[in-house]
């Protein structure tokens, strides 16, 4: 379909060099001819009016009219009274790119990939409403780069939300908006200036990537082994206390107190990744570690699990002495996150739509968890399933000596995606795996799970 333009016609890239020996009209004709041959102008495309193009190039209108007439005589252009001059219909149109082949899923039966929410249940209409609301209420000045730590409105909303839902101790002045956990960790670790950071084992060491040297500290049934942390000599530790990744263990009250005592004794910092604390099922809520020791805990939050990873919005609640160095690094990194999206998230939370979405998703994930439990009870009752109290993944514990990689490979041959971790177990994500798919996937590998 030909593009229609309002006004006198589209912009057109044509340059005239008066220092060249070539005539001005010849330059114009050659460039238009080349644009048509190269496909920059295709059949039916309108050209600017002779008056507009002459004004833009500093030429006489008659010269442009003559150039158009010559190309029309050659069959490149066509014109009729009352209509724009257009590229002739018989000129071959630029070939459209071949439609991309629909990608076939790597695991057509079921993919138990973890760490991903249901991408089909993203609240698109609510987000669209929030973006419109943001554009309606944002003052003109808010469309500038803004403060590197984030829009004040969102920081106020996030602080209030963290206090209300996670028992944090925070005000807007403590919050720094970022693009998610990965950037947050980079900013915090950089601000600390330490060569080593302790991480839970098993845990999410990959989140830190190559930012720093990692010290692996074991996790047991009560959470991080604080005595082992003390022996490590580390002065910073990354923990997931509300729902340890990947075991699902909750850091117990006594361990929390031990961890805070460790931080005070060695002038250390606890980095709390609150990655999926919103999704709990059959246990009482677990408050934020930051609320117990705001001077020693940096708390990280994100909407990647609660809304969608594509939004790239997260936040840091930082102690006063770390706020300025983290903010400075944020400014150096990207001068601040999208202000429109920040206002949209603030509107979504303030309107109650965010809480309603979380309630819907909590109900759906609980149903999927139950489907997974039922399927495994039917096909592999001998394998313990743990980490079920929160989040949207569980851990299938394999017997000692089990060949985890062999199971993963055999399942893949049957179109089922399984993922292991270094503790003789399989992480079964059900965030982006519908109930029917969960049942089908477990059924497809039932004999593999029953094999010794």
Dist CA 208 CA 214 (whole Å):
8
CB neighbour burial string for 323-345, b if at least 16 within 10 angstroms, e if fewer: bebbbebbeebeebbbbbbbbbb
Q: What distance, in Å, lies between the first and last C-alpha atoms of the chain?
A: 63
User: Is the model's pLDDT at 275 over the cut of 90?
Assistant: no
pLDDT (tens digit per residue) in 425-445: 899 999 999 999 999 999 999
395 strand-pairing partners: 386, 427
CB 425, CB 401: distance < 8 Å: no
Strands (E), 127-283: 175-178, 196-201, 213-220, 223-224, 236-239, 269-273
The whole-number pLDDT of residue 5 equals 38
Average pLDDT over residues 341-360: 96
The whole-number pLDDT of residue 15 equals 82
Indicate the pLDDT class of residue 14, thresholds 50, 70 and 90.
Answer: confident
pLDDT (tens digit per residue) in 154-193: 999 999 999 999 999 999 999 999 999 999 999 999 999 9
Dist CA 258 CA 249 (whole Å):
17
pLDDT (tens digit per residue) in 299-326: 999 999 999 999 999 999 999 999 999 9
Task: Tell me which of 38 and 107 has the higher pLDDT.
Answer: 107
The whole-number pLDDT of residue 4 equals 37
The whole-number pLDDT of residue 277 equals 72
Percent of the chain whose pLDDT exceeds 90: 68
Average pLDDT over residues 96-110: 75
Average pLDDT over residues 284-299: 92
CA distances from 7 to 10, 48, 78, 111, 169 (A): 8, 9, 19, 52, 57
Average predicted confidence (pLDDT) for the chain: 90
The whole-number pLDDT of residue 1 equals 39
The whole-number pLDDT of residue 97 equals 63
User: Is the model's pLDDT at 222 over the cut of 60?
Assistant: yes
What domains sit in the chain, N to C, each tagged with a CATH number? 1-96 (1.10.10.10), 110-115+356-450 (3.90.1150.10), 123-351 (3.40.640.10)
């Amino acid at each position: 379909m030909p593009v229609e333009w309002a006004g006198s016609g589209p912009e057109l890239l044509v340059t005239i060099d008066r220092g060249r020996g070539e005539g001005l009209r010849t330059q114009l004709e050659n460039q238009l001819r080349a644009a048509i041959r190269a496909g920059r102008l295709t059949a039916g495309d309108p050209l600017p009016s002779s008056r507009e193009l002459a004004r833009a190039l500093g030429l006489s209108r008659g010269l442009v009219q003559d150039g158009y007439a010559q190309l029309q005589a050659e069959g490149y252009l066509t014109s009729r009274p009352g209509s724009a001059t257009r590229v002739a219909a018989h000129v071959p149109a630029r070939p459209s790119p071949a439609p991309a082949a629909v990608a076939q899923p790597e695991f057509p039966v079921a993919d138990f990939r973890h760490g991903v929410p249901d991408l089909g249940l993203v609240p698109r209409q609510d987000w669209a409403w929030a973006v419109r609301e943001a554009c309606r209420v944002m003052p003109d000045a808010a469309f500038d780069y803004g403060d590197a730590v984030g829009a004040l409105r969102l920081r106020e909303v996030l602080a209030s939300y963290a206090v209300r839902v996670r028992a944090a101790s925070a005000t807007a002045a403590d919050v720094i908006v970022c693009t998610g956990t990965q950037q947050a960790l980079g900013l915090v670790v950089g601000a600390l200036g330490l060569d080593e950071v302790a991480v839970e084992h098993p845990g999410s060491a990959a989140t830190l990537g190559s930012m720093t040297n990692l010290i692996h500290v074991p996790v047991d049934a009560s959470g991080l082994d604080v005595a082992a942390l003390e022996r490590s000599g580390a002065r910073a530790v990354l923990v997931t206390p509300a729902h340890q990744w990947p075991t699902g263990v909750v850091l117990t009250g006594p361990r929390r107190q031990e961890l805070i005592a460790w931080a005070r004794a060695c002038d250390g910092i606890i980095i709390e990744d609150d990655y999926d604390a919103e999704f709990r099922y059959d246990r009482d809520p677990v408050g934020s570690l930051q609320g117990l020791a705001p001077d020693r805990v940096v708390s990280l939050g994100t909407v990647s699990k609660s809304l969608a990873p594509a939004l790239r919005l997260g936040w840091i609640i930082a102690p006063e002495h770390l706020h300025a160095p983290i903010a400075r690094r944020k400014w150096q990194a990207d001068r601040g996150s999208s202000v429109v999206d920040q206002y949209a998230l603030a509107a979504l939370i303030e309107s109650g739509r965010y809480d309603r979405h979380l309630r819907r998703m909590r109900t759906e994930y609980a149903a999927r968890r139950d489907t997974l439990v039922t399927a495994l009870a039917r096909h592999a009752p001998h394998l313990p399933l743990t980490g079920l109290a929160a989040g949207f993944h569980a851990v299938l514990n394999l017997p000692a000596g089990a060949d985890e990689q062999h199971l993963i490979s055999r399942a893949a041959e049957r179109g089922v995606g399984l993922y292991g971790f270094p503790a003789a177990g399989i992480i079964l994500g059900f965030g982006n795996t519908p109930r029917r798919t969960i049942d089908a996937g477990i059924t497809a590998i039932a004999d593999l799970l029953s094999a010794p």
